[in-house]
Amino acid sequence: MNEDLYIISPDAADLFKEEATLRSRGPATPVDALGLRAWSLTDPDLIKKLFIDPRISRDAQRHCPYLETEIKGKWPLEAWATIQSMLNADGADHKRRRDPARSTFTAHNVAKIIPAVEVIVSEQLDAMAAAASAGEPVDINKHFSEPIPVYVIAHVIGMPPHLAPAFQRLVSGMFSTTVSGEEASAFAAEFREMLSGLVALKRSEPADDLATKLVIARDRDNALSEEELIDNLFSLVAGGFETTVNMFNYAIVALLHDSEQLTHVREGRATWEDVTEEALRFATFPHLPIRFAAEDIPIDDGTTIQKGDSIIPAMGAASRHPKWHGENANDFDVRRPNKDHLAFGYGPHLCLGAPLVRAEGRIAFPALFDRFPDLQLAVHKDELPFKSSFISWGYQSVPVYLGAREKTEVPVR
């Protein structure tokens, strides 16, 4: 790898600018991510090619010679690179770890989850209405975007709902790229302790849920080790939450900021599915998940990714690449004719929860906008704070007025 490293901003302070720079440096470019040298991939066609290439591995133990010295201790890279879930396995091992969870997310089984999602959405809308005092803004992130995915994943996994808020706090820690090492280890330890408690509960009170399926795969079928069982749950809870929150927030802000977009949907020129797909192009991981070259891999532009090199794909930069979406690729446009994106990755590790996310969008967006037809941002979109993370990119809070307000109360730029 040459030494002309682009330093990835730990807090994704100006993500679109950073992504444009990365794209301008070629389809694969060397970067420094929290001190780790890695290849950033921004070309969507190259990502699709490499994600099904057997020379690329997810197994850091086997294919990352500097795991101990360069990755351990770098939060959250260490957590993401070493977690013993389906995320970090290849071939038959990957299939073994993924199979016990797979059936939960088939179209048929996701359809069975839909009534529960509808109840969760409806309850959250009631709770949000109750939380709003006359004339005061409410935070849609706190009352809608965060609780819906967390209660949905709690339902799917079989987590007692009262534990959901604690898991929510721990997941947010997993995605932060600006916490200290001590805070990070504390998060990971507490998260695993809670998951062990969940596994113990399912052993004593099995139920028709995903956690029980994984426990059976461990205890009856011997298909998972105890660590793989816990870490699969870890990936499912973490994967199922934070990105979905970002998707909700991004779409809501975009639709409220540019009311023409919302009008397209209300007047039938675009669908809530279009809204969800468009939001996904923005709400995916900016830089993750990490992979390793198991052999030298020459790529078309003449560079060679060398054996042992780390690869951190830029899924957002690729999903908003001008070669797929033209010069307005960074604009939120529900009528975009080409819906392609890599928000869920590609190939064997394609996001397991994708059908669930799509169902959540299809249900929650229309429910919100039908219930509150006069919803309005309480501040200009440019004033909304973003999370400090290059893994999870999204709004931290989104104050809105649920009812009609005078237009002049929203600062205009």
- Summarize as ranges the residues that interact with ligand HEM (CB under 6 A): 51, 86-87, 98, 153, 235-236, 239-240, 243-244, 247, 280, 283-285, 289, 315, 343-347, 349-353, 356-357
Q: Are 348 and 324 in contact (CB under 8 A)?
A: no
Q: Which is nearer to ligand HEM, 30 or 355 (CB)?
A: 355
Nearest distance in Å: CB 403, ligand HEM? 29
The pair phi, psi for residue 155, each rounded to 5°, is -65, -45
DSSP H/E element including 305 = strand 304-305
Nearest distance in Å: CB 335, ligand HEM? 21
3-state secondary structure at position 74:
coil
Q: How do beta strands 36-41 and 28-33 pair?
A: antiparallel
**Residues paired with 298 in a beta bridge:** 304
DSSP characters over 179-238? S-HHHHHHHHHHHHHHHHHHHHHHHHS--SSHHHHHHHHHHTT--S-HHHHHHHHHHHHH
Q: Are 319 and 344 in contact (CB under 8 A)?
A: no
Q: Which is nearer to ligand HEM, 43 or 376 (CB)?
A: 43
| Residue 25 Cα distances to 4, 5, 109, 294, angstroms | 10, 10, 43, 24
Q: Which is nearer to ligand HEM, 168 or 284 (CB)?
A: 284
Of all residues in the shown chain, the one whose CB is closest to ligand HEM is: 353
Retrieve residue 248's tokens: 């909700």
* Helices assigned H by DSSP within 25-163: 44-51, 60-63, 77-82, 91-102, 107-131, 140, 147-157
Nearest distance in Å: CB 37, ligand HEM? 20
Nearest distance in Å: CB 209, ligand HEM? 12
Nearest distance in Å: CB 83, ligand HEM? 10
Q: Which is nearer to ligand HEM, 15 or 402 (CB)?
A: 15
Nearest distance in Å: CB 194, ligand HEM? 17
CA-nearest of 19, 29, 5 to 285 is 19
Residue 226 has a CB neighbour count (10 Å cut-off) of: 12
Q: Which is nearer to ligand HEM, 80 or 401 (CB)?
A: 80
Nearest distance in Å: CB 276, ligand HEM? 9
Q: Which is nearer to ligand HEM, 29 or 84 (CB)?
A: 84
Please report, to the nearest 10 degrees, the dihedral formed by the alpha carbons of residues 228, 229, 233, 235 taken in order: 10
Q: Which is nearer to ligand HEM, 85 or 261 (CB)?
A: 85
Nearest distance in Å: CB 109, ligand HEM? 12
Q: Which is nearer to ligand HEM, 111 or 130 (CB)?
A: 111
